[in-house]
Structure formats: C-alpha cells, structure tokens
Amino acid sequence: MTKLVHISDLHTGYAHFREDILLKTIEEINEMKPSAVIITGDLTDHGFYNEFVQAKKYIDMIEPQKIIVPGNHDARNIGDEVFEELFGERYSVLELKNEAIKIIGLDSSEPDLGHGKIGRLQKRFMEDELADANERGLFTIIALHHHIISIPHTGRERNTLSDAGDILLSLIQNNVNLVLSGHKHVPYAWKMNNTLFTTAGTVSSMKLRGNTHPSYNVIDIDNQYIEITLHNSDGTIVPLTPP
C-alpha cells in the first residue's frame, strides 16, 4: 500500500490566507509519513517574490519528498521565473522506485492569464515519460494545476486547458492511472475509462464555494486500486469517489 498526499492552492499572500490551517495540515502530513506529497500550484496569490519566499518556508516544512507544479496565480508578475529560482523546473518527474510509481508534473500556467495550456513540447515530454512507464509496468500519475474535465458547482466554465481535448485523448490512450489537479477549490472525482481524475480544494485559503472548508486529499494505492479521502480543516474525513 502506497500513501500519497495531494495539496493545492495555498494562496500565500491572499488577505484570507490561513497560516494556522496550513501549519496544522503540514503537521498532519508529517505524522502520516506518505511516500510523497504532490502540490498542484497556486502557491502564491499574486506571484510576488515575497509570496514565493513565504510559500517556500511552509513547503520546506513538509518532510516527505515532494513534486511541485505552478498554477496560474504563480505565473503572474514574472512569477514563473521566480518559481524556477526557488523550486526548480516547472515540469518534472518524481519516480517512487520502491512502489513502481511515476508521477509526471506539468506546468499548465500561462503568464498573467487565468486559463491553462500544456502545449506541444510538454505534451511530447509527457508522452515520452508515459511510454517509458508503460514499458516498465509502472503506475502513472499526472499532476497539473488546471483541470481537464469540467467540475460541478464551479459556475461558468472558462478555465479548463485550451488544449484539453488533445491532452485528454493522450492520457486515455496511454492508460494513465490517476490525474491530479487543483484550481477551482472544489474537491471532485471523475472516472473515464480506466483513468481517475481528481481535483483538490484549497488547502489554506478562504476562497471557498458555499459551506465548504479548506481541505486536502489523501490517496491510498494498492496495486491498481485507488482510494481517495478528503480531509477537511474541521477534522471531518470523507471518501472522494466518482459518481
């Protein structure tokens, strides 16, 4: 059994950022000791340098190994360059060799724009990594900020990837096991063919919809079986399963 944690949308620098909730979450993660923590963007609210520095301070407190991708808020004000300075490559791979899992992180952000795009070069990078994973029989996870499939209860849809159709086709054709994203602050799960698409809520801001809470997802993987639970800041834990 492999345990992973998926957090997203810290929004450091936002007027309603909740440091207390983030610190409590970090403490819970460190006690949980997952194999990896996946962070799918919007570390900051405006992409300002000082926000990135603050976000890094928090993220460095997370003890398990991490893979981090930027979100659209992180690409504001030349934040994409700051992300690379403080966190490294905007798209990368983390392989959990003992668990035979490959996590491919993609940068779906566009400078100073809300919508997302993967683009041809990253798509080729992703497909090369997936071909390698499939040849070696690895469990595959794609992590990116923007969702690929629209999410209920999020209002007018404007911010799926502009190349969502091409990316979705590639994911299905390559039998990706799990796709993780954030962006809308609404935890949800869809299943298409054999691929599970899961979004995380905001882990530490009050940019919330309705009577919801900041939250994060815990992912348990047993061979090809995936179980995801939603951990809310009020202490409640509920299954996150596709309809």
- Please list the pLDDT of the chain residue by residue as tens digits (243 residues): 899 999 999 999 999 999 999 999 999 999 999 999 999 999 999 999 999 999 999 999 999 999 999 999 999 999 999 999 999 999 999 999 899 999 999 999 988 887 889 999 999 999 999 999 999 999 999 999 999 998 888 776 665 788 999 999 999 999 999 999 999 999 999 999 999 999 999 999 998 888 899 999 999 999 888 999 999 999 999 999 888
Q: Does CATH number 3.60.21.10 belong to domain 2-239?
A: yes
The answer to whether residues 151 and 186 touch, using CB atoms and an 8 Å cutoff, is yes
How many other CB atoms sit within 10 Å of the CB of residue 223? 9
Strands 178-181 and 188-192, bridge-based pairing: unpaired
The answer to whether residues 129 and 93 touch, using CB atoms and an 8 Å cutoff, is yes
How far apart CA 182 and CA 120 sit, in angstroms, is 22
pLDDT at 125: 97
| β-bridge mates for residue 92, sequence order | 105
pLDDT at 122: 96
Burial class (CB in 10 A: 0-12, 13-18, 19+), 118: buried
pTM: 0.95
pLDDT at 59: 98
pLDDT at 178: 98
Q: Is 206 helix (H, G, I), strand (E, B) or coil?
A: coil
Spell 123-150 as b/e; 16+ CB within 10 A means b: bebbeebbeebeeeebbbbbbbbbbbbe
- The strand ranges marked E within the chain are 2-7, 36-40, 66-69, 92-96, 101-105, 139-143, 178-181, 188-192, 195-199, 215-222, 225-232, 237-239
The answer to whether residues 227 and 220 touch, using CB atoms and an 8 Å cutoff, is yes
How far is CA 224 from each of CA 137, 139, 220, rounded to the nearest angstrom? 11, 8, 10
Q: Which two tokens stand for residue 125?
A: 């990078």
Return the domain boundaries, the chain.
2-239
How far apart CA 229 and CA 197 sit, in angstroms, is 14
Phi, psi of 219 (to 5 degrees): -115, 120
pLDDT at 216: 98
Q: Which two tokens stand for residue 194?
A: 């054999």
pLDDT at 157: 62
pLDDT at 159: 59
How far apart CA 59 and CA 46 sit, in angstroms, is 17
